Structure 1
Amino acid sequence: MSTLALQKAGLSKAQVIAATTLGTALEYYDFTIYSFFAIQIGQLFFPAASPVNQFLLSIGVFGVGFVVRPLGGIVIGGYADRVGRKKAMVLTIMLMAVSCALIATAPTYAVAGLAAPFIVLGARLLQGFAAGGEFGPGTTLLIEHASDTTRAFFASWNFAAIALGIALGAVVATLVNAALPKDALLAWGWRIPFLLGIVAAPVGMLIRQRLEETLGDHTAPHACATCDAAPSSNTGRYAALKAALTTHLKLTVLGTFAELGGSVSVYITAFFLPNYAVRTLHLPQTAAVVSGIVSSLVLFAAAPLAGKLADRYSRKRVLVVSRVILLVTVYPAFAWLSAEPSTLRLCAVSAFLAVFVAGHIVPVLVMIPELFPKPVRATGIALTYVVSASFFGGFSPFIASWLVALTGNVLAPAWYVAAACAVSLVPVIWLRDRTGETLA
């Protein structure tokens, strides 16, 4: 959408970005806050288990959110391609608010028996479904609101919002843990962050209602921007999904593997590295929390910069340079941290890696939707990003931990990140770079 169109809609560029990404930040705050209170939730909802099993069961319930994310991406992405991006984004924030309310008000095992853990499980499934459905419509709407020379910058804010939501969750969790004694935290304090998520959701919904819909006439035939496939009509509830898996299958597969390196690197650096520092390098828990906040804030700041560079110097150039730098520096960074572990070194490594993680995630996240035609765009980005993030990224901490145990080498996770970056460089060769081009 042009600047003139934005002015007619009564929204500035900054307001469009804020309206789109505020909800994303709130949703990922809601989605991740659970992990910070897994111990308390385990004690209250799985009391019959041992302390270790309580934690494992609680983390298992957290993990189911990742399992349903691809389903949310497919269903809500298709909804966005069928009825509109704005309606899909309002729906996701409503679903996240409901799931947050379920957890915040859930009766404990002592009150409701076996129904208690099932309520939490249902809420986590709903959260995962909503989080999976958020990214496709949000990124698509930002791209379609941007001009030909600002698409990467606009799209970068959706990834920045994810980082901001994670950082916000870590900060709130830290403040609640510091302000309340353990008894109060276990009795009621753990519910406070979830209640905050409920209160913030209506604000995001109201802001998103002001957005201008960008889908337009979505009944026209459409063809792939990177292949020779014939145009296909976009009619029916599952037409966008069918098109992504048939007419645009090559692009869907290439996009998923092109995003593999980003998914693995962000989960290793933002989620695995802090816990690795505590378990393997024996740093204090506070070091993990602080480094997690630092990493998320650097990702938040670096993402828009990567978008600006991708608009100016092309998607592929920024993507390849950042991915290669990360590939060759991740092992020395891990080795430097392991040589003399400290909170300062952990934060320095987290911040350094986060810069290049953003540098190679943002360009590919805008390249993929630029290549899909408008009637399939939200579904296409949902399939490639959510599937990559859920399966390649979501299992990365487990794989990295398994590699350390298997090899006895504490630097094995670095080799894993480097390998993922190398593999994901290959499909980029076949992806067309549409920097500065006008989208249909």
Structure 2
Amino acid sequence: MRPAIRQSGAVGTFGVGFFMRPVGAMVIGAYADRVGRRAAMARTSWLMALGTAALGLCPSFASIGVIAPLVVIVGRSLQGFAVGGDIGVAAAFVLEAGPVSGRGFLVSWQLASQGAAALLGAILGILITSTLSPAALASWGWRIPFLIGLLIAPVGLYVRLRIRDDSMLANTTRHAGTPLTELWREHRTTILLAMLMMMGQTIPVYAIVYFMPSYAARVMHMPAVTGFQASALPALLLVVIPTLAGPLMDRLRRRKPLALLTSGCSALLVYPVFLTIARATSVLPILCGVAVYSIMVAFGAVAVTLLVLEALPARVRASGMAVSHALNVALFGSTAQFIVTGLIKWTGDHLSAAWYVAPMCGVSFCALILFKERRAEA
């Protein structure tokens, strides 16, 4: 029973970070729209540093008893709260930081930075698990990523405090009420469609890019290095592909056709990719399947992010982007792996996960069709 209890506690601690994201999105996003992007990003840096310190420096259960898991939960909550607001605010900031003609290029780097973080995490995971014994990893090695993140935090805070905040809040006529009130009153359909559009990238990432490689290693009994390789490759592609997609977006007259193309291809490719991974006897088919889907996801993410940011006026752009992204991740990202795992256990069929992923990608495609593209100058 003890391993089961520990596993349930780990899952609960993991989940609380996801479900704090919408709260952080509403609070920090609204703050960014009222006060400014730089001020909001500085605060998310502090919150992330505090959450990371709580995780990396928390005393053991043997030292402080039940307080230890409570500290870990608080740390995860602070991290989720900060990330929930930070992604939307940072996306709004980079969109507004340069000329309208270069928006795709600028936004692509914000998305590439998320891929870079995932790549760094994958590389660090490989190094730690390959150099430390299981006992050392369980005792103190798990703290290393958090301590490294804590050392990097002052650099990020320094950079954010020195950037110029050229957001157009001062030049925008504000409606009565708070940004969240205006979002609900005038833009709730946009937020709902944006959340469903982003779902088309979120569910495949969690259900295929992140889950299936580890499934191949643990359940299909392929070498452990296969899972590591298949985790690092999509992270690398999510760094490189957005920087290629961004300039392409700037050359196109409209963003929506490319978003529809990638979304439609994602829905159609779900079953072939699952089939390729499930029947693979070597690492190459797994890498190819994951790579193809990562490319679709990366192109789609840049197009959808631009569509959402440009559809929202500057006075509610940060909060609108933050809320739609955080709700999407909390509702669909946090549950994708559990649903996929449950379907496979229930049916005994490795391909049954496609029954969930493909229809959800289809819903995302329909949301894109209904979404109105706006190329606002502000």
* TM-score over 0.5 for the pair: yes
Q: Which of 295, 301, 315 in structure 2 is aligned with 1:355?
A: 295
- Mapped to 1, the partners of 2:90 and 2:217 lie a distance apart of 35
**Percent identity (aligned):** 34
Give me the whole-angstrom Cα distance separating, in 2, the residues matched to 1:181 and 1:428: 48
Is structure 2 residue 265 aligned with structure 1 residue 325? Answer: yes
1:193-233 deviations in Å (ceiling 9; x for gaps): 211111101011111122111234448435xxxxxxxxx33
Aligned position for 2:216: 277
TM-score, normalised relative to structure 2: 0.94
Contact 1:218 1:374 in 2 (8 A): no
How far apart are the structure 2 equivalents of 1:148 and 1:219?
Answer: 16
2:11 alignment partner, one of 50, 53, 59: 59
Matched-pair contact (CA < 8 Å) for 1:281–1:341: no
SS of residue in 2 equivalent to 1:259: helix
The answer (yes or no) to whether the contact 2:33–2:169 under 8 Å persists in 1 is no
- Residue of structure 2 equivalent to 1:417: 357
Matches of 2:307 and 2:212, distance apart in 1? 28
1:162-214 CA distance string (max 9 Å, x none): 11111111211221222223333333222222111111010111111221112
Q: Residue 287 of structure 1 aligns with which residue? A: 226
Query: Residue 252 of structure 1 is aligned with which of 191, 194, 199?
Result: 191
Deviations 1:279-332 (A, max 9, x none): 443323332222111111111111222222222223112111111222222211
Counterpart-to-counterpart distance in 2, 1:164 and 1:258? 23
Deviation of the 1:150 alpha carbon: 1.6
Contact persistence 2:168–2:314 (CA under 8 A): no
Aligned counterpart, 2:324:
384
2:363 is the alignment partner of 1:439: no
| One-letter amino acid matched to 1:326 | S
Contact 1:218 1:375 in 2 (8 A): no
Amino acid at match of 1:337: I
Distance of 1:385 and 1:396 partners within structure 2: 15
Higher RCO (Cα < 8 Å, 6 or more apart): 2
User: 1:78–1:241: 8 Å Cα contact kept in structure 2?
Assistant: yes
- CA gap of 1:340–1:253, structure 2 versus 1, over 3 A, is closer
What is the aligned partner in structure 2 of residue 337 from structure 1?
A: 277
| TM-score, L = length of structure 1 | 0.82
Aligned pairs, how many?
377
- The residue correspondences of 1:32-47 to structure 2 (distance < 5 A) are none
Given that 1:278 and 1:288 are in contact with CA atoms closer than 8 Å, whether structure 2 keeps it comes out as yes
Amino acid at match of 1:75: V
Question: What residue number does 2:26 align with?
Answer: 74
In structure 2, the residue matched to 1:261 is 200
Q: Secondary structure at the match of 2:6?
A: helix
List runs of 5+ in structure 1 lacking aligned partners: 1-48, 223-231
Answer yes or no: is 1:302 the counterpart of 2:241.
yes
